[in-house]
Structure 1
Amino acid sequence: MHKKFCMTLIIALIFLPNIVQADEEQTWIIEMENAPEDLEAILQKDYPFIEVLHMYDTLLEAVAVQGKERHIEQLYEETFVTTIHSAQTYQVPHAHTKNSALPKANYHPEDIEQTGKNVKVGVIDTGIDYTHADLEANYQAGFDTVDFDEDPMETTVEQGVPTMHGTHVAGIIAAKGEITGVAPDAEIYAYRALGPGGTGTTAEIIAALEEAVDDGMDVINLSLGNEVNSPDSPMTEAVNRAVELGVPVVVANGNSGPDLWTVGSPATAEKAMSVGAYAPVQHQPYIELANSYRIDLAQVPLSPAWNFSKRMPLETVSSVEELEKSINDRVILIEKEKTYLEMMAAIMEKGASAVIVYSEEDPNSWEFVELPIPVAYISKDDAKQLQSAGNWFTTKYEQLTDKLATFSSRGPVTSNWQSKPDIIAPGVNILSTVPGGYAELQGTSMAAPYITGLLALLIEKDPDASPEELKNRLISHANPIDELNQSAIDQGAGVADIARSVERKYTIKDKAIHFGKVDQDDQTIQRSITIENHEEDPMLVRWEIPRKQPGIQWKLPFTTEIAPGTSESFPVELRVSTDRLTQELLEGYVYVSVGDERVSLPYTLVTEEADYPRISGIELEPIPFKENKYNLSVYLAEEVEQLEVAIISDDFSETNSILEETNINEGKFQATIQIDEMSESSQYLIVQVVQNGKTYSSEVQLNS
Structure 2
Amino acid sequence: MKLAPLAVIVSAAVATALSGAPLSHAATTASVNATQISIAQDETPKRWFVELSGPATTQGVTPGAVKNEQAAFRRAAKAAGINFKERFEYQTLWNGFSIEASFADAGKLRAVPGVKNVYPVVDVQAPPRPDPGSKGDVEAAISLTGVDIARSELGLTGEGVKVAIIDTGIDYDHPDLGGDFGPGFKVAYGFDFVGDDYDARFPETSTPAPDDDPDDCNGHGTHVAGIVGAKAAEPDGVTGVAPEVTLGAYRVFGCEGSSSADVIIAALERAYLDGMDVVNQSLGAAYQWPQYPTAVVGDRLVELGVSVIASAGNSGAFGTFSGGAPGIGRDVIGVASYDNAATLSPFFEAGGQNVAYGVMSFSAPAPMSGTEEYVFIGRACDADGDLLADPAGKTALAVRGGCNFAEKAQNAVDASATAVVIYNSSAPLFSGTLGGDPGHDVPVVSISGTDGLFLRGLDSAEITWQEGSARFPNPTGGLISGFSSWGLSPDLELKPDLGAPGGAIFATYPLEFGGYATLSGTSMSAPHVAGAVAMLLEAKPDTPASHIRDILQNTAEPKVWSGNPLSGFLGPVARQGAGMIDIVAAVEGTVRVSPGKLSLGESEAGTHPVSLTVYNSGADDVTLDLEAETAVIGVTRSIPSGPPDNPGATGIGYFLGGSGVAFEAESVTVPAGGSATVNATVFTAPGQDELYGGYITLSGGDTMLRVPYAGYLGDYQLINPLSEDVFDQIVPGRDLVPGLARPTATGWTIYFEGATFTMENEDFPYLLFNVGHHVERLEFQVLDAGTEAPVHPVFSTYFAIDYLGRSSTRQTFFAVPWDGTREHSVGNGDLFKIVPNGDYKMAIRALKANGDPSNPDHWEIWTSPTITIARPEEPKKKTINLRGKGR
1:507 to 563, 568, 592: 592
**CA shift in 2, pair 1:320/1:696, >3 Å:** farther
Deviation at 1:200, TM superposition (A): 1.4
| Matched letter for residue 168 of structure 2 | T
What are the within-5 Å matches in structure 2 for residues 634-653 of structure 1? none
The partner residue of 1:263 within 304, 315, 323 is 323
Show the counterpart of 1:281: 341
Deviations 1:438-494 (A, max 9, x none): 112222211111110010011122333221212222222212233624424132222
Deviations 1:50-82 (A, max 9, x none): 98654321232334578999x999999986677
2:682 to 557, 569, 574: 574
The one-letter code matched in structure 2 to 1:459 is L
CA distance in 2: counterparts of 1:279 and 1:103, whole angstroms: 11
Residue 118 of structure 1, CA deviation: 1.6
**C-alpha distance 77-170 of structure 1, shift in aligned 2 (>3 A):** same
CA contact under 8 A between 1:407 and 1:443: conserved in structure 2?
Answer: no
Once residues 549 and 319 of structure 1 are traced to their aligned partners in structure 2, the CA distance between those partners, rounded to angstroms, is 41
> 2:118 touches 2:801 (CA, 8 Å); kept in 1?
no
The higher radius of gyration belongs to 2
Counterpart of 2:505?
Answer: 430
Evaluate the alpha carbon distance shift between residue 354 and residue 252 of structure 1 in structure 2; reply closer, same or farther with a 3 A threshold.
farther
Alpha-carbon distance, 1:119 to partner: 0.8
In the other structure, the counterpart of 2:160 is: 118
The TM-score, its normalising length taken from structure 2, stands at 0.55
Q: Deviations over 1:19-65 (max 9, x none)?
A: 99xxxxx9886555566539679989x99x99865432123233457
Q: Secondary structure at the match of 1:409?
A: coil
Give the 3 Å change call, closer, same or farther, for CA 322–400 of structure 1 in structure 2.
closer
Q: Does 1:171 align with 2:233?
A: no
Offset at residue 572 of structure 1 (A): 1.6
**Counterpart selection for 1:593 from 667, 676, 699:** 699
The answer for the alignment partner of 2:638 in structure 1 is none
Q: What's the TM-score, normalizing by structure 1?
A: 0.67
Q: What amino acid is the match of 2:339?
A: A
Quote the Cα distance in structure 1 between the aligned partners of 2:629 and 2:126: 47
- For 1:73 and 1:591, locate their aligned partners in 2 and report how far apart those are by CA, in whole Å: 49
How far 1:413 moved relative to its partner?
1.5
Runs of 5+ unmatched residues, structure 2: 1-15, 23-39, 55-65, 179-184, 195-208, 346-355, 375-394, 426-432, 457-461, 466-470, 562-567, 631-655, 723-736, 744-758, 783-790, 807-813, 820-843, 863-887
Q: Is the 8 A contact 1:472 1:507 kept in 2?
A: yes
Cα distance in 2 between the residues matched to 1:251 and 1:603: 21
Alpha-carbon distance between aligned partners in 1 of 2:486 and 2:213, rounded to the nearest angstrom: 37
Identity, in percent, stands at 27
Aligned counterpart for 1:140 among listed residues 184, 188, 210: 188
Change (3 A) 1:87 1:231: closer
What is the match of residue 273 of structure 2? 214
Give the Å deviation of 1:575. 3.9
Who is 2:817 aligned against?
A: 674
**How far did 1:261 drift?**
3.5
Letter in 1 for 2:221: G
1:59 aligns with 2:202: no
Instruction: Tell me the distance in 2 between the aligned counterparts of 1:29 and 1:318.
Output: 43
Letter aligned with residue 496 of structure 2: P
Q: Please give the alpha-carbon distance, in whole angstroms, between the structure 1 residues aligned to 2:18 and 2:861.
A: 20
Separation in 2, partners of 1:470, 1:68: 42
Q: 1:300 offset after TM fit, Å?
A: 12
Q: Distance in 2 between matches of 1:469 and 1:498?
A: 14
1:560 aligns with one of 654, 668, 679: 668
Equivalent positions of 1:340-359 (< 5 A) are 346=436
CA pair 247-603 structure 1, distance change in 2 beyond 3 A = same
The equivalent residue for 2:478 is 403
Question: What CA distance in whole angstroms lies between the structure 2 residues aligned with 1:552 and 1:104?
Answer: 38
| Shift, 1:561, TM fit | 1.8
Question: Which runs of 5 or more residues in structure 1 are unaligned?
Answer: 1-7, 21-25, 156-162, 286-295, 336-342, 357-373, 387-391, 646-658, 677-685, 699-704
CA distance in 2: counterparts of 1:142 and 1:183, whole angstroms: 19
Q: Aligned-pair distance for 1:116?
A: 1.2
Per-residue CA deviation, residues 83-123 of structure 1 (Å, 9 max, x unaligned), is: 78997867748657899999875955331222111211000
- Indicate yes or no: 2:224 matched with 1:194: no
**Alpha-carbon separation, structure 1, partners of 2:210 and 2:580:** 38
Letter in 2 for 1:477: T
SS of residue matched to 1:487: coil
Say whether the 8 Å CA contact 1:97–1:434 is kept in structure 2.
no
CA 697–502 in structure 1, closer or farther in 2 if over 3 Å, else same: farther
CA distance in 1, matches of 2:694, 2:48: 47
Q: 1:275 to 1:527 in 2, by over 3 A?
A: same
CA distance in 1, matches of 2:802, 2:114: 28
Partner of 2:713: 607
Alignment of 1:211-250 (within 5 A): 211-228=270-287, 230-250=289-309
Distance 1:545 1:429, change over 3 A: closer
1:449 is paired with a residue of what secondary structure?
helix
Q: Distance in 2 between matches of 1:268 and 1:142?
A: 25
Shift of 1:516: 2.2
Relative distance call for 1:496 and 1:351 in structure 2 (3 A) is: farther
Q: Is the 8 A contact 1:635 1:669 kept in 2?
A: no
- Match of 2:61? none
**Where does 1:284-683 land on structure 2 (aligned, <5 Å)?**
313=396, 346=436, 399-400=474-475, 402-436=477-511, 437-482=515-560, 484-489=568-573, 490-519=575-604, 523-544=606-627, 554-576=662-684, 578=686, 581=687, 584-608=690-714, 615=721, 628=764, 667-668=803-804, 673-674=816-817
Paired residue type of 2:507: S
Per-residue deviation, 1:612: 10
- Partner Cα separation in structure 2 for residue 222 and residue 145 of structure 1: 15
3-state SS of paired residue (1:169) = helix
CA deviation after TM superposition for structure 1 residue 221, in Å: 0.6
| 1:207 alignment partner AA | A
Q: Over the residues paired in the alignment, what is the CA RMSD in angstroms?
A: 6.0
CA shift for structure 1 position 668: 4.3
The number of equivalent residue pairs is 599
Q: Quick one: structure 1 residues 669 and 183, their matched pair in 2 at CA, closer, same or farther if it must change by over 3 Å? A: closer
